[in-house]
Amino acid sequence: MFRPVSSSSFSSVSAILTKEQQSNLPENKIEETHLKLAFDFKSYMLEKANSVNQALDSAVPLKHPEKIHESMRYSLLAGGKRVRPMLCIAACELVGGDPLTAMPAACAVEMIHTMSLMHDDLPCMDNDDFRRGKPTNHIVYGEDVAVLAGDALLSFSFEHIATATEGVSSDRILRAIGELAKCIGSEGLVAGQVVDICSEGADVGLDHLEFIHLHKTAALLEGSVVLGAIMGGGSDEEIEKLRKFARSIGLLFQVVDDILDVTKSSEELGKTAGKDLVADKTTYPKLLGIEKSREFAEKLNKEAQEQLLEFDQIKAAPLIALANYIAYREN
């Protein structure tokens, strides 16, 4: 865990921590934080999010048939933290790549993430009518169009990587497409979704819960980082270290999500709070309690950052900051 940097010349990720979290940070991490996070993370996030939003807007223009493209754009451009595209771009930069070469892949993972939310919100799934502070896609456009718009985003994500990526060898583009397909298919995101659905109301243990979230949530975060490393020209060793990093922060993301679901309001989250409790889903707080869940989140964050120790720490700063952002976010 990191202590906020005191210098006024830059802002570290720790600025997003609550006062209580900041007061609990160990004193011996001050110097380490100065070395690793001496950059303006808030500006980095705003810059990357703005670039991704512009790229998404250009990639999915409003055209005929308007209904389907309106629906696609409604959810795709509804805001959100853009964590997955940022992870993709940061991984590309870490291994020495040009962030522009990773932008199509970054957009693709956000398209797929948006699709998963659109389908997750459907009445046959989580039956939610509130997402990112707005009515969910099927509430606005109907279930039929929402399903088709999600399908369209999924298929276009692969087309976009294949046709819009520049300055990357065809071998690496092909490898990235295969990686992305695997992380969201029947052995990835879909596997996690199905096991999650089948586990509602069941007596589920920690190993079972970890399987769900390593696939349902962590798989696409892992894919985001790995795609960035592939597009950036990373070596196999670098890619595998970043894969382990991403797997830890992917599970971390879900642990924090579970905690927020029972500690925050719908207004604070921008989505319906407490729905896991209502659906009788097994979560980390349900199995471990809130405090033990927070300890587990801290352990995952530490394990993730250990994978970055052999990289240039200046180049690794965005990924370190993003890991902390995921760990200490409030929504």
For residue 229, pLDDT over 90 is answered with yes
Cis peptide before 61 (omega within 30 of 0): no
- Which amino acid is it at 169? S
Stretch 40-64: mean pLDDT, rounded?
95
φ, ψ (nearest 5 deg) of residue 131: -150, 130
* Count of CB atoms situated within 10 Å of the CB of 30: 14
User: What pLDDT, on the 0 to 100 scale, is given for residue 9?
Assistant: 28
Q: Which domains does the chain have, with CATH numbers?
A: 17-328 (1.10.600.10)
Stretch 161-170: mean pLDDT, rounded?
97
Stretch 116-143: mean pLDDT, rounded?
93
CA distance 207 to 50: 38
Residue 277 binned pLDDT confidence (cut-offs 50, 70, 90)? low
User: What pLDDT, on the 0 to 100 scale, is given for residue 19?
Assistant: 35
Stretch 29-50: mean pLDDT, rounded?
70
Stretch 86-115: mean pLDDT, rounded?
97
User: What pLDDT, on the 0 to 100 scale, is given for residue 28?
Assistant: 41
Residues 321/41, Cβ–Cβ less than 8 Å: yes
What are the helix and strand counts (H, E) for the chain? 18, 2
For residue 66, pLDDT over 90 is answered with yes
CA distance 206 to 255: 12
Residues 94/319, Cβ–Cβ less than 8 Å: yes
User: What pLDDT, on the 0 to 100 scale, is given for residue 269?
Assistant: 54
β-strand partners of 134? 131
Stretch 140-169: mean pLDDT, rounded?
98
- pTM comes to 0.84
Four-residue CA torsion sign, 109, 163, 119, 273: positive
